[in-house]
Chains A and B, each alone.
Chain A
């Protein structure tokens, strides 16, 4: 679904976001939540980057940091050539027109006391675009674009179903004709039949308005459908980044393999036949993340080195990066050409490139 993309629209370089935990009268910082821990990637113009991971992996925090709803603790965010990580309110204002967000919960993300007309029209008003009449006309056009009726202008959010509310949220994000939309789990609160309507709508809008999406979700089926490339996060780290189809054909990181095998398949025979890798336990606490590779306590291939050395993001060619000491689905020839990618976290040991591949592994399905 990508248009002919040019250079990167946004670059994320070694971004960290830590949240302090304060205690006592003096509110001293006693610990930090390592929500996003040295993540780098870029998003090209017109593409859709899927961002997946379990809850608590930092994908939402990263999304919010990118649109600068949060300030990164460290690192650089470069949007169309401008560094935006330290901009203040005033500096950010023109940028707000270019990046917008669609939120997960269509019930919580619309102000119940405002009418649809002002929910969608306020961004235009804030940026003083047009006059009252032209704004109204624009809002009605937007309602039409997202599949609602212009007569809905004067209604309140509670008069709409979940799917319709999500359309209102999308119309609001579109109002300022942004370049980038960060969609944070935009369909996970919706029914299946409405989900597919929404995914098709997002696809149409991307073509119509040349949008770039960062699509955050935990459902790998949905992400595969919309994405050109997919980034997998685990406990604040980027562990794999790959062209969408390739990730599903040949996952390199064992965590990705496990995630894929957990996706339910609506086909009883296939579902019974396939091997499911059930991950033991939960995601560890991001306050004290495990040493070395953060996935090692739950990984079935983990060895000594995984406990001690953080693996670098290695480049397996074709834009497929993965951070693992025991990569899957990689042959010896590819393994010989592997080198550390510039996206690697600074703390990772760049010399610790994978030596062996864990051999046969079964692609999902």
Chain B
């Protein structure tokens, strides 16, 4: 049994805004063990980033209300003070953001920014920190790190900036690396490089990874377990293979069906989920996906719990539909009718 690093229990996050209370996260639970890669998949506004940022203590704000617990090695991160949080942030949990263009400071050299991160957490000599920065850049695959360490962010390409961000996140050897859409802003070729790099570094640093993305394809070959989020809730949670080969939530089918796939014949039309995600201020009654779900029936006006409804233990979903009915009907949604184009 691997070491349990993180346990999130029934986490809720509400933000008070001028327009009303935004229920960003409504009862999310998951666990993360050392060596594991957890994928969190969802669209914008599904609460995936807020969940991750709350784990990092980045949503602490006068307008934010939290519920539940975020246990890092047994310690509840929601309870500790801001100064104590500083010891966890970066040191124990590192984060990579989506946009490598805006998350680096343009007026400081890459090396200085990494050195700053190291010195914020450890009392080390600047020379030693500088050496470590070079070493980190080498580990994330920057060519000629000795000279590139003195470059400014604009001298780096998008992929290299993301590598530099990863180097910075790893600078204090955190146990958990949270990657929030790390590849969305990058080209496919660079995307493949970065995903491979994150998987490799996880082993090199013996850490765990939370990979947040809207693209199921990105997590398919590296995640061990996947959470699918919708309107602030986890609507399906399963081991990666179970999620792809036995998906239980119609929303997951929709996500799978919306991706134009290279491994299948081109369908006449892509499957699409009608409508748009609900407002987090006025959530629909019952199942949050009900207004967009083609299979909704009366019972869906009550919200289903996240429960194990299939034979596989650990495969949880929030759907009232009968499992056999779903297995018989989901292929239409996933393969978009899979009629081959002429």
List residues of chain A with CB under 8 Å of any chain B CB: 54-55, 161-164, 191-197, 199-200, 203, 218-222, 224-225, 245, 248, 258-272, 276, 278-279, 281-283, 364-365
Contacts and interface: CB of A to CB of B under 8 A. Distances in A.
Contact of A203 (B217, B269, B273): B269
Nearest to A285: B157
Interface residues of B, number: 44
B260 A269 contact: no
Contact of A162 (B44, B255, B256, B263): B44
A193 B258 contact: yes
Contact of A192 (B43, B143, B244): B43
B157 A265 contact: no
Interface in B145-174: 157-160
A173 B221 CA distance: 39
User: Which one of B158, B188, B254, B274 has the highest number of Cβ atoms from chain A below 10 Å of its Cβ?
Assistant: B188
Interface string B119-160: 000000000000000000000000100000000000001111
Contacts, number: 131
Contacts of B89: none
Contacts of B260: 196, 199, 219, 221-222, 224-225
Interface stretch (B17-25, B75-83, B190-198): B190-198
B44 A259 contact: no
Contacts of B218: 264
B189 A258 contact: yes
B232 to A, nearest CB: 16
A276 B189 CA distance: 10
Nearest to A272: B221
A269 B245 CA distance: 10
A279 B262 contact: no
Contacts of B271: 196
A70 to B, nearest CB: 22
Contacts of A161: 276
Nearest to A222: B260
A259 B192 CA distance: 10
14 contacts: A192-B259, A200-B270, A245-B266, A259-B189, A264-B218, A265-B217, A266-B215, A266-B261, A272-B221, A278-B189, A279-B193, A282-B159, A283-B157, A365-B262
Nearest to A282: B157
Given A200-B272, A259-B188, A268-B220, 6 more contacts: A195-B258, A265-B220, A266-B244, A267-B263, A282-B159, A282-B160
Nearest to B43: A191
A239 to B, nearest CB: 14
Nearest to B336: A196
B187 interface: yes
Nearest to A221: B260
Contacts of B299: none
Interface string B218-235: 101100000000000000
A192 B252 CA distance: 12
Contact of B192 (A191, A224, A272, A278): A278
B188 A196 contact: no
Contacts of B240: 268
Nearest to B191: A262
Contacts of B93: none
Contacts of B259: 192, 196, 221, 266
B176 interface: no
A278 B269 contact: no
B145 to A, nearest CB: 14
Nearest to A147: B274
B40 to A, nearest CB: 14
B178 interface: no
B263 A192 contact: no
A276 B220 CA distance: 14
B262 A265 contact: yes
B188 A262 contact: yes
A270 B245 CA distance: 12
Give the 3 A-B CB pairs with smallest separation, nearest first: A264-B217, A271-B221, A196-B272
Contacts of B318: none
B216 interface: yes
B214 interface: yes
Interface in B285-327: none
